[in-house]
């Protein structure tokens, strides 16, 4: 039983389906590990014992009855706490939603339940998904399982930490500007940001609606691909959901990269200050080249503006989306106060400093006299960034960069300088602004033993090529089978 936490989702599903292990046994093993390690890691905000065991029992009953089991039957999964789960607290790591219990499931949660997955609980995050280090949670800082004094990345740091630490083989996060890819790089796992519209956002608490996308996180490319297979698809309840056929993501992992053209943004790679990151990325490129890929130099001339563009567009959309949290319909209510006083006090008491900062920035960018100068200009540059990728894809099939400019930084290292924190997403922001598909997968360790991630970006709805190329990187220089030393 002690081996369950380090088995793959495929191994667990096969054991449950074959009867050599029960879903109840698996769930209990993971719940026990989560209870034991969560005080050290703070990656779960809610551990749903009752719900997990009930779901596991249902899988066991289905197997005993000879029913066909779903692709994730009995496989535990952790969900970022901005995904609505019926009857289970959903906080967005914010005091303003501290006791909110949704009456419905997000689309991806419905898909997971239908697949037979066992939801263990809800994971910690930067409040309302705003952050790059998981230090903006209203409840606790998440700790990187590779080095407890380091940040796990954000905003999906809780999901990344839980997966890397063996508390769940699979997890879901949300990615607005890099929030599954950056923590995946810091924690040594794989994460996929699907094309905007590939996965329904119904039931995802909105941060920036033109950027938000739910993404799978796992310890291997193949497992992340399987999870994407389960959650991808059209949903009429989401107006931005694409009505397009999904791909064969798991099968794509076996296709190799012979003939694949890999675009290398050489000026970004040459400008890296971290020698370890550059060396590991070069090793990954060599692994791709060895298996038949061709390296092509490409340019993204407007990528240098991505941070400025993102923090105008995302904050503007956040200021609109978060206006609904007024203390009347959700969350805190100030006893004895009139509605105006309730609104003012609730937003001041309920939102943390980073959320308030972004609301103010976004409101300013949308205000009369500044809309054209800031927000509209940012949207125009966003279009230029997308055109840069269109041009690059004329000569390559995927674009390669590091996922992050450094390995995981120390907790507290960047909290006093918001701009320095924002720059941690410099490589993940351009694909998000362009609405493209991207994957981050480990490509080795730094000299100090911290994971380093490689990012591959593909044209819209070409997630299959990311699975193929990611698998080759994983086979050549990945970390599958490695266990975080800080947990020993």
Q: Which residues are marked as active site?
A: 80, 155, 179
Which burial class, exposed, middle or buried, applies to 226 when counting CB atoms under 10 A from its CB (0-12, 13-18, 19+)? buried
**Is the bond leading into 155 cis (omega within 30 degrees of zero)?**
yes
d(CA 398, CA 182): 19
Whole-angstrom CA distances from 456 to 175, 218, 377, 462 are 15, 16, 28, 11
Say how far apart CA 163 and CA 33 lie, in whole Å: 12
Backbone angle region of 233, left / alpha / beta, with phi > 0 → left and psi within -120 to 50 → alpha: left
Tell me the CA distances in angstroms from 227 to 47, 90, 249, one per residue in order. 21, 22, 9
- What six digits make up the tokens of 69? 């089991």
Query: CA–CA separation, 111 vs 408, rounded Å?
Result: 32
- Count of C-beta atoms within a 10 Å radius of residue 69: 16
Residues 253 and 257: their CA atoms lie apart, in Å, by 10
Give how far Cα 432 sits from Cα of 60, 166, 375, Å.
Answer: 40, 28, 17
Say how far residue 99 (Cα) sits from the centre of its chain: 24
CB proximity list for 349: less than 8 A, separation 6 or greater: 95, 332
In whole angstroms, what separates CA 121 from the centre of its chain? Answer: 16
């Amino acid at each position: 039983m002690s081996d369950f936490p380090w088995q793959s989702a495929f191994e667990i599903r096969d054991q449950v389906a074959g009867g050599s292990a029960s879903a109840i046994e698996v769930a209990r093993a993971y719940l026990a590990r989560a209870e034991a390690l969560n005080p050290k890691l703070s990656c779960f905000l809610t551990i749903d014992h009752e719900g997990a065991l009930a779901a596991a029992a249902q899988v066991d009953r289905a197997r005993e009855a000879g029913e066909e089991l779903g692709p994730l039957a009995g496989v535990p999964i952790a969900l970022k706490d901005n995904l609505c789960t019926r009857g289970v607290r959903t906080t967005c790591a914010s005091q303003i939603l501290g006791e909110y219990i949704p009456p419905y499931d997000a689309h991806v949660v419905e898909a997971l339940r239908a697949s037979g997955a066992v939801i263990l609980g809800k994971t910690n995050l930067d409040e309302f998904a705003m952050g790059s280090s998981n230090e903006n949670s209203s409840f606790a800082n998440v700790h990187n399982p590779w080095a407890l004094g380091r940040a796990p990345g954000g905003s999906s740091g809780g999901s990344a930490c839980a997966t890397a630490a063996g508390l769940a083989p699979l997890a879901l996060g949300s990615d607005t500007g890099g929030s599954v890819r950056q923590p995946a790089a810091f924690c040594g796992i794989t994460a996929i940001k699907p094309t905007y519209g590939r996965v329904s956002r119904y039931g995802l608490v909105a941060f920036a609606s033109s950027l938000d996308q739910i993404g799978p996180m796992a310890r291997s490319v193949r497992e992340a691909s399987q999870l994407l297979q389960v959650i991808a698809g059209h949903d009429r309840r989401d107006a931005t959901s694409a009505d397009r056929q999904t791909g064969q993501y798991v099968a794509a992992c076996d296709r190799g990269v012979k003939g694949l053209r890999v675009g290398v943004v050489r000026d970004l790679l040459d400008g890296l200050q971290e020698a370890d990151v550059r060396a590991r990325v070069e090793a990954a490129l060599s692994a791709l080249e060895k298996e038949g890929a061709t390296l092509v130099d490409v340019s993204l001339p407007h990528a240098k503006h991505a941070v400025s563009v993102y923090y105008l567009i995302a904050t503007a959309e956040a200021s609109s989306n978060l206006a609904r949290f007024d203390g009347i319909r959700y969350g805190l209510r100030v006893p004895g106060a009139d509605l105006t006083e309730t609104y003012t006090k609730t937003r001041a008491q309920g939102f943390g400093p980073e959320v308030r900062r972004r609301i103010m920035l976004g409101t300013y960018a949308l205000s009369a006299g500044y809309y054209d100068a800031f927000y509209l200009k940012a949207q125009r540059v966003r279009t230029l960034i997308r055109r840069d990728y269109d041009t690059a894809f004329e000569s390559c099939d995927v674009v390669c960069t590091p996922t992050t400019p450094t390995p995981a930084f120390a907790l507290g290292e960047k909290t006093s300088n918001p701009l320095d924190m924002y720059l941690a997403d410099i490589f993940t922001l351009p694909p998000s602004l362009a609405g493209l598909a991207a994957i981050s997968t480990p490509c080795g360790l730094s000299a100090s033993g911290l994971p380093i991630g490689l990012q591959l970006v593909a044209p819209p709805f070409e997630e299959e090529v990311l699975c193929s190329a990611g698998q080759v990187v994983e086979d050549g220089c990945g970390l599958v089978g490695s266990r975080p030393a800080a947990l020993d």
